[in-house]
Amino acid sequence: MKRIFIFAFIGNLVFSVGSFLVLPEQVAIHFGTGGHADGWSSREFHLLLNLGMDSFLFMLFFFIPKGIRRFPKSLMNLPDKSYWLQPENLQRLYQLMDDWLHELGVAMMIFLLVIGGLTLKANLAQPVRLNEPTFFVVLAIFMAYVLYWSWSLYVKLKPSKRSL
């Protein structure tokens, strides 16, 4: 999953640079009711904003799994904490968290890529307008996935699922 996460991040970077080459000088970066543009920037700022946001999220999801290993165990909040924090179970917990956080990172990168595509399409249209129904469908799918991801992680960590 880590490799897919890295490729998804690189895909976002390539898409952002490619978008920069075709966007107009003034770019809509925020859309209000009805998909109408209500916030503008230069395409250079738009590129820096996308690269910065993608890089920040990548580092967050890439390095949090490493940080969990250094996190004080007394502050961890887990289902069946006494089981998972036993020395013989810690490696399995860390690997599970690595995999799950990288998976969520992939979903985040795909979500940002799709939103980037919608924003690019909106900025190339005349008049500039975001396809609001598509945006809300994409947002609903992403939010449903995040809920599923959260529930699945909880189920994996429950005592009855120890054999997984």
Where do the structural domains in the chain lie, given as residue ranges?
Answer: 2-67+78-159
CA atoms 43, 132, 61, 109: torsion sign: negative
Contacts 24+ apart (CB under 8 A), 38-45: 44/20
- Predicted confidence at residue 89, as pLDDT, reads 87
Distances (CA, A) of 10 to 4, 14, 25, 91, 106: 10, 6, 24, 29, 11
Residue 76 dihedral angles phi and psi, to the nearest 5°: -75, 140
Q: Are 64 and 105 in contact (CB under 8 A)?
A: no
Q: Which residues of the chain have pLDDT under 70?
A: 159-164
Question: For residue 60, what pLDDT is reported?
Answer: 92
CA 115 distance to own-chain centroid: 11
Task: Supply the pLDDT for residue 12.
Answer: 96
* pLDDT value at residue 161: 53
Name, in order, each residue with C-beta under 8 angstroms of 51's C-beta and a sequence gap of 6 or more: 13, 16
Single pTM value for the model: 0.86
Give the pLDDT of residue 13: 96
106 in Cβ contact with 4 (< 8 Å):
yes
